[in-house]
């Protein structure tokens, strides 16, 4: 039961379209208050978990139903406790999922053809689903955010593990990087701006569709959805936000420059003082071979300083890197799953993984060309091996951060389990006869109506 609640903490469902298609045709598997869980929805979650999480060997439909009912209890309790997620947050989550599917399909037209739905229909049919998902997650966060574990608790957790079945931990490394992003020439800057000025003129003076022009000429992933973008003031480039929020619905901005390139923005609607729906087109000035050669020359000179001991890694990061995240990470590559700098080899990009194995701790690589897997920007890079831990069995000395996270997750899950059990009597609960044998639901059946 604890393990399943832990899954609820981080689970993400992708039941696109299933609610609207079947809500009036399905058998009801369970109910919490006014919220119902359909057999089709239950099967979507079960099949997804089995497909995506190979280690859940004993995962059953009962587990899936338990997770879904826990989610509905948290949503209902969130309403009672006035825990609210904004419409902007919901819209952002929907847009992220649509962008993902657009990238998989390759174009808006292909996605709509394969799904048999328009993008608009996908948004509207799944709005409630994502609102409930985010509400449950926010309620979970509120409940467990204050829970901490002490070093003593971590040690006690480690002692509960069977010494004969301790997890083998693969080799990990701590890797830093110095990024040299080439600057485009003034000629390429001027060309990009003039190109976008022409696009804007076609839209404003010749009546061409902004969405069509975004699809044809835009140079980021929003082009797949006609340039649609949810603007969030606190999460986006200030220059872009300032230019966009000045606009009235339907108005198109002049061409302006941000750190990403040249933009034009059309205001669709302002959803709040800090969020808005917009369409945009970005043209990124081209970086030429000559620009890359200049960056490579700089990187070569910095590499010599590092290897000669005339400058430290930290000093080089502060003075030369163009990576904005380096201000928070000190130039270290972060493991987004654990929040630490410990990386397994298969979590590194191919060049780093291959060359790190040849390096000694404290050594630097030769400058090399590099493509960021997230932004797809090309640059020149130097990597630095700060530390290495060889393969070993799980232990307190080498794996304290991992054990701390596991101990914390267990403590949070136990708290949630107790919390849910306490709240069950306050809700109308109904479980279909087909699932009344489910062990995890047995304590709830006394509150269930046949």
* CATH topology for the 171-183+288-390 domain: Chitinase A; domain 3 (3.10.50)
pLDDT at 74 over 90: yes
Report the SS3 class of residue 55.
coil
| More confident call, 340 vs 332 | 332
The four Cα atoms 390, 395, 399, 400 give a dihedral, to 10 degrees, of -150
Per-residue pLDDT tens over the stretch 33-65: 888 888 888 888 888 777 766 555 678 888 889
Instruction: Supply the pLDDT for residue 163.
Output: 87
Instruction: Count CB neighbours of 141 within 10 A.
Output: 11
- Residue 448 DSSP code: B
CATH 1.10.4030.10, applies to 2-149+400-447 = yes
Mean pLDDT of the residues in the chain = 87
Instruction: Supply the pLDDT for residue 122.
Output: 86
Please answer whether residues 14 and 124 qualify as being in contact, where contact means their C-beta atoms are separated by less than 8 angstroms: no
Instruction: Count CB neighbours of 39 within 10 A.
Output: 19
Per-residue pLDDT tens over the stretch 232-264: 888 888 999 999 999 999 999 999 999 889 999
pTM of the model: 0.68
Domain spans of the chain, in order of start: 2-149+400-447, 171-183+288-390, 186-283
Q: Which residues of 415-439 are buried (b: 16+ CB within 10 A; e: fewer)?
A: ebbebbeeebeebebbbbeebeebe
Question: In terms of residues, how long is the chain?
Answer: 450
Count CA atoms closer than 13 A to 205's CA, side-chain side.
6
Instruction: Supply the pLDDT for residue 11.
Output: 40
pLDDT at 2 over 60: no
Tokens of 119: 């993008």
* CATH topology for the 186-283 domain: Chitinase A; domain 3 (3.10.50)
List the one residue out of 390, 345, 392 whose CA is nearest residue 168: 392
| More confident call, 31 vs 448 | 31
Per-residue pLDDT tens over the stretch 392-450: 999 998 889 889 989 999 999 999 989 998 988 888 888 999 999 888 888 888 876 65
pLDDT at 12 over 80: no
Per-residue pLDDT tens over the stretch 357-380: 899 999 999 999 998 877 778 899
Instruction: Supply the pLDDT for residue 9.
Output: 40
| More confident call, 5 vs 419 | 419
Q: Tell me the chain's radius of gyration from C-alpha atoms.
A: 26
Instruction: Count CB neighbours of 330 within 10 A.
Output: 15
List the one residue out of 108, 105, 114 whose CA is nearest residue 214: 108
In this chain, the answer to whether the domains covering 171-183+288-390 and 186-283 adopt an identical fold is yes
List the one residue out of 216, 222, 126 whose CA is nearest residue 231: 222
Residues in Cβ contact with 73 at an 8 Å cutoff, skipping those fewer than 6 apart: 32, 420, 423, 424, 427
Instruction: Supply the pLDDT for residue 7.
Output: 42
7-33 average pLDDT score: 56
Over pLDDT 70: what percentage of the chain? 92
- Residue 335 DSSP code: B
84-105 average pLDDT score: 84
- State CA 117 to chain mean position distance: 25
Report the SS3 class of residue 2.
helix
- Residue 247 DSSP code: P
Longest dimension (CA), the chain: 78
CA–CA distance, 264 with 282 (Å, rounded to integer): 7
Instruction: Supply the pLDDT for residue 449.
Output: 61
The four Cα atoms 259, 260, 262, 267 give a dihedral, to 10 degrees, of -100
Measured over the CA atoms of residue 200, residue 203, residue 209 and residue 213, the dihedral's sign is negative
> Residue 17 — very low, low, confident or very high, per pLDDT cuts 50/70/90?
very low
CA–CA distance, 197 with 259 (Å, rounded to integer): 18
> Which residues partner with 31 through β-bridges?
36, 430
């Amino acid at each position: 039961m604890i393990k399943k609640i832990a899954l609820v903490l981080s689970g993400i469902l992708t039941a696109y379209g299933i609610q609207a298609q079947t809500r009036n045709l399905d058998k009801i598997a369970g109910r919490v208050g006014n919220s119902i869980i359909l057999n089709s929805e239950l099967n979507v979650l079960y099949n997804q978990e089995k497909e995506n999480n190979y280690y859940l060997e004993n995962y059953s439909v009962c587990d899936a139903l338990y997770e879904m009912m826990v989610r509905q209890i948290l949503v209902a309790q969130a309403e009672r406790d006035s825990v609210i997620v904004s419409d902007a947050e919901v819209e952002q989550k929907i847009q992220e999922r649509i962008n993902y599917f657009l990238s998989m399909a390759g174009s808006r037209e292909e996605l709509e053809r394969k799904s048999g739905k328009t993008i608009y229909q996908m948004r509207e049919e799944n709005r409630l689903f994502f609102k409930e998902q985010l509400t449950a997650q926010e309620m979970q966060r509120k409940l467990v955010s204050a829970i901490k574990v002490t070093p003593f608790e971590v040690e006690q957790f480690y002692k509960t593990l069977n010494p004969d079945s301790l997890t083998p931990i693969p080799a990990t490394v701590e890797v830093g990087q110095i990024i040299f992003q080439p600057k485009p020439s003034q000629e390429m800057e001027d060309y990009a701006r003039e190109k976008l000025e022409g696009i804007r003129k076609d839209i404003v003076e010749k009546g061409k569709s902004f969405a069509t022009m975004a699809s044809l000429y835009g140079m980021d992933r929003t082009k797949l959805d006609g340039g649609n973008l949810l603007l969030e003031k606190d999460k986006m480039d200030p220059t872009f936000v300032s230019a966009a929020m000045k606009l009235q619905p339907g108005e198109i901005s002049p061409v302006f420059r941000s750190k990403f390139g040249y933009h034009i923005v059309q205001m669709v609607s302002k959803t709040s003082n800090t969020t808005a729906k917009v369409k945009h087109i970005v043209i990124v000035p081209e970086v030429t071979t000559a620009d890359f050669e200049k960056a490579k020359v700089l990187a070569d000179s910095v590499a010599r300083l590092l290897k000669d001991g005339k400058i430290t890694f930290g000093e080089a990061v502060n003075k030369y890197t163009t990576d904005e995240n380096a201000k928070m990470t000190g130039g270290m590559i972060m493991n987004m799953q654990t929040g630490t700098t410990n990386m397994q080899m298969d979590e590194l990009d191919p060049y780093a993984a291959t060359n790190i194995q040849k390096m000694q701790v404290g050594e630097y690589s030769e400058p090399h060309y590099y493509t960021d897997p997230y932004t797809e920007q090309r640059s020149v890079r130097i990597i630095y091996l700060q530390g290495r831990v060889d393969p070993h069995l799980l232990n307190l000395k080498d794996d304290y951060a991992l054990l701390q996270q596991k101990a914390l997750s267990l403590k949070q899950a136990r708290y949630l389990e107790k919390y849910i059990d306490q709240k069950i009597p306050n809700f109308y609960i109904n479980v279909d006869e087909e699932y009344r044998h489910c062990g995890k639901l047995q304590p709830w059946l006394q509150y269930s109506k046949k």
